């Protein structure tokens, strides 16, 4: 099937209130353009330099989301245009994003990444770490970032029950921080979870954003 056909099929399964991030990492511009011509506008990338190049070469009304682990020294490559950074997991990174956002005279929307999988290697905050960060005086000084929700990746497993529990956990983390610290901020509203293999489950558990790559563009 073509990229346009894959997209159409996936969109049929996604309710209107859920945003689809088409994960185009490693894929060439032609593939992205095919999805763009089929109406897709939000794309996700996980390498700053690759994203920088694609942003310069592709239509300017694309909303670029950064979905991977971001190193502080690479923030500068994406700060001028990135629409949402999904994987923020330290105050140091937030401070760097704030600094680059200020240089570009903008506010950069970010999601806090939480560790919900039981795999050692995954990045992300614990609830305690996030609490500490958000209550830190240094956090309240950051005027050029906007925390808009949470993001997480489930364990890579066939065990649907486990994935279900992990998504449920992220949803409860979202609700906790919404009530605790972001009650007054309407823009704190996003739960980014679900990929090609598990996005339907993620939507059932409350995802507002799904990140889908291989089901649209084929295997990497």
Of the residues 22, 93, 191, 212, which one makes contact with ligand PLP according to CB under 6 A: 212
Cβ-in-10-Å burial (0-12, 13-18, 19+) of 30 comes to exposed
Q: Of 22, 23, 78, 145, which one interacts with ligand PLP (CB under 6 A)?
A: 23
Give the nearer residue to ligand PLP in terms of CB position, either 52 or 192.
192
Q: Which of 80, 196, 200, 206 binds ligand PLP (CB under 6 A)?
A: 196
Pairing of strands 108-114, 145-152: parallel
- Measured CA to CA, the distance from residue 171 to residue 202 in angstroms comes to 10
Question: Token pair of 111, please?
Answer: 């999601």
DSSP letters, 131-151, are HHHHHSHHHHT--SEEEEEEE
Contacts (Cβ under 8 Å, ≥6 apart) of 42? 19, 20, 21, 22, 62, 63, 65, 83
Q: How far is the CB of 66 from ligand PLP (least distance, A)?
A: 10
Build a one-symbol-per-residue string for 144-183: x at contacts with ligand PLP by CB under 6 A, - elsewhere: ---------x------------------------------
Question: Minimal distance in Å, beta carbon 105 to ligand PLP?
Answer: 28
Kindly tell me which of 145 and 153 has the beta carbon lying closer to ligand PLP: 153
Sequence-separated (6 or more) residues with CB below 8 Å from residue 18: 203, 207, 208, 209, 210
142 or 217: CB nearest ligand PLP: 217
Query: Which residue in 195, 202, 203, 207 binds ligand PLP (CB under 6 A)?
Result: 195
Residue nearer to ligand PLP on the CB measure, 142 or 152 = 152
DSSP 73: G
Alpha-carbon distance 67 to 113, whole Å? 10
First to last CA, the chain: 16
In the bound state with ligand PLP, the residue whose beta carbon lies nearer, of 70 and 134, is 70
Phi/psi at 65 (nearest 5 deg)?
-110, 135
Which one of residues 68, 131, 146, 168 is an interface residue with ligand PLP (CB under 6 A)? 68
Interface with ligand PLP includes 211 (CB under 6 A)?
A: yes
Compare residues 142 and 209 and give the one whose CB is closer to ligand PLP: 209
Residue 46 lies near ligand PLP (rule: CB under 6 A): yes
Q: Which residues sit at the interface with ligand PLP, rule CB under 6 A?
A: 23, 25, 46, 67-68, 153, 195-197, 211-215
């Amino acid at each position: 099937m073509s990229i346009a056909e894959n997209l159409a099929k996936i969109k049929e399964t996604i309710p209107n209130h859920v945003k689809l991030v088409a994960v185009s990492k490693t894929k060439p511009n032609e593939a992205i353009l095919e999805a763009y011509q089929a109406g897709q506008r939000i794309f996700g990338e996980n390498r700053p330099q690759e994203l920088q190049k694609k942003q310069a070469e592709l239509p300017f009304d694309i909303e670029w989301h950064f979905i991977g682990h971001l190193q502080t020294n690479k923030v500068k490559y994406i700060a001028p245009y990135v629409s949402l950074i999904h994987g923020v997991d330290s105050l140091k990174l937030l401070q760097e994003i704030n600094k680059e956002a200020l240089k570009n005279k903008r506010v950069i929307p970010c999601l806090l990444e939480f560790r919900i999988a039981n795999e050692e290697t995954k990045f992300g905050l614990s609830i305690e770490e996030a609490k500490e960060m958000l209550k830190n005086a240094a956090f309240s000084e950051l005027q050029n970032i906007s925390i808009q929700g949470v993001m997480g990746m489930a364990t890579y497993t066939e065990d649907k029950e486990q994935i279900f529990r992990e998504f449920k956990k992220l949803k409860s983390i979202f609700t906790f921080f919404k009530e605790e610290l972001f009650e007054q901020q309407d823009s704190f509203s996003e739960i980014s979870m679900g990929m090609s293999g598990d996005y339907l489950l993620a939507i059932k558990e409350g995802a507002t954003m799904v990140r889908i790559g291989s089901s649209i563009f084929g295997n990497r």
